[in-house]
Amino acid sequence: MADARLPFTQVVRELPSTTPFVGPEAIERQRGFTFRARLGANESNFGVSPKALAAMREEAARACWYGDSENHDLRNALAARLGVQPEHICVGGGIDELLGILVRVLVAPGTPVVTSDGAYPTFNYHVNGYGGVLHKVPYRDDHEDLEGLLAKARELKPPLVYLSNPDNPMGNWHPAEAVREFIAALPEGTVLVLDEAYAEFGPDAAVPPFEPDDPRVVRMRTFSKVYGMAGQRIGHAVAHPEMITAFNKVRNHFGVNRIAQVGALAALEDEAFVREVLAEVQQGREDYARLAERLGFQALPSATNFVTIDVGGGKRARWLLQALQDERVFIRMPGVPPLDRCIRVTVGPPDERAIFAEVLEKLAARLPAEDEIRG
């Protein structure tokens, strides 16, 4: 029982004390070691652009000042890049923070919200935190099921539906045209949050054109993945100007740190660096696919900076995750059946891929059959 002197809201009182993610540092502290390869959180181990790094180093001397609360320069640069207006953009502390703001402006206690069973957990965490009621549609053929999501949206008329494209944790994608048709078919008063954390890694055919005056969609992008700035916490939402106005009513105006603002701007301009990362990731995806095939597993096609590998059963996947961790290799896996027959590995640089390959090969040789594993 909670201490009666702590006057929590009803929503908070009734929430279980769960954490959406146990981070690699927490695992390292528990285990008393450091990871040899950190391939679980889809961070970009190719690092940050040298130009962004130089800009951030220089800006560090001005850390005594708050950042620009309007994120003026970055919003203008992003608007020019995406072919929208600065009024269509809100910069925040990564997609994770922006998802929280979006839920806050659309979801009151008791409100239904639709997502897929096994989709990005941080979104669910925000919905629960504002008292919304999650309705989860199963994946179909390892894809978020557009028809199923649409049917659920028509039934419940929720203010918000979540879709990530390309998808985490399965790594695949829906064509832009299918996403556009999905948006067009949503019931009136339902907004799609299109989480595009991996947009840069996928084919152009996965990315719908920006139509920011359409009130039915909020798109989210991040500097955490291809730009290698996960620790800086910076991303942006692109939406109808009235949606951005709503974000501005409640967001933390000085929440984005000025070093991140400067770094993101420099990173955006260093297109050559992004191209290099994308080429490396492409190479790494192929490496993992060959490795999986050689070991008798199956790599799913990936439009992201990770590869999801079907290892033939949920118990086998958990066994491998644990055994990899014992070998100081950090990966993750999807949380729910039938997706949990897979492990999910970030594409790192060649030395980290080599460590993963060596350890996985060793473990594959003694991986039990699914029905031989207890638990």
Ligand X SMILES: *Cc1c(COP(=O)(O)O)cnc(C)c1O
Out of 45, 222, 261, 302, the only residue in the binding site for ligand X (CB under 6 A) is 222
Out of 45, 91, 106, 120, the only residue in the binding site for ligand X (CB under 6 A) is 120
Site for ligand X in 186-215 (CB under 6 A): 195, 197
CB 263 within 8 A of CB 101: no
305 binds ligand X per the rule CB under 6 A: no
Site for ligand X in 15-44 (CB under 6 A): 42
CB of 250 to ligand X, least distance (A): 18
Stretch that binds ligand X, among 46-54, 93-101, 277-285, 286-294 (CB under 6 A): 93-101
Out of 158, 171, 235, 263, the only residue in the binding site for ligand X (CB under 6 A) is 235
168 binds ligand X per the rule CB under 6 A: yes
Stretch that binds ligand X, among 206-214, 222-230, 257-265, 280-288 (CB under 6 A): 222-230
CB of 196 to ligand X, least distance (A): 8
49 binds ligand X per the rule CB under 6 A: no
Residue 168 or 172: the one with the smaller Cβ distance to ligand X is 168
Residue 194 or 359: the one with the smaller Cβ distance to ligand X is 194
261 binds ligand X per the rule CB under 6 A: no
Stretch that binds ligand X, among 19-27, 65-73, 90-98, 108-116 (CB under 6 A): 90-98
CB of 282 to ligand X, least distance (A): 18
What residues make contact with ligand X under the rule CB under 6 A?
42, 94-96, 120, 164, 168, 195, 197, 222, 224, 230, 235
